[in-house]
Structure 1
Amino acid sequence: MSVLTTNLILMQSTRRILLGGGVMKRASLFEALRAQTKARLNGYLTNPPHDGDLVDVIMPPGLGERAGPLGALALALDADRAV
């Protein structure tokens, strides 16, 4: 997973990566993933937010388990407004 997060940061200039789902409910996985991603970056990026501990980059979604259903509803509302 740290390969994915590292590639997203380097190739897409990603400022935030939200990871959810059953396995990611364990907070310790976020700490380990951030540490591995930082090790893979190896100081390559020197500007915020990628130069620190990546707490503001790799995180769970703010809506928790409701992110999927509420996100789908938000997309449907936006699509309805566009018509």
Structure 2
Amino acid sequence: MIAPRTCPICDATIPPDVRPEGTSAADRAFPFCSERCRNVDLLRWSQGKYAITEPLTPDRLLHELGDDPEAVEQLLARESEEEGD
């Protein structure tokens, strides 16, 4: 069974599509249930409320940068310079 879609802002169940895509207000607001929830999400982004909080470790950087140790060292050096300012 396929789980019903829910709005990421208010958790309201989004009804299945009954009209051709792009014709209803709900289709224009996807993946949100309404234009209001879409605007709430935009406001949260603009206020910086969404952030990646996972710290980047040297091992993780190696993985993300394709195992290029020189690139990791440059990034870490740049980061430590910025923290020292």
Q: Give the greater-gyration-radius structure (CA).
A: 2
| Structure with the larger helix share | 1
- TM-score between the two structures when normalised by the length of structure 1: 0.28
- TM-score between the two structures when normalised by the length of structure 2: 0.27
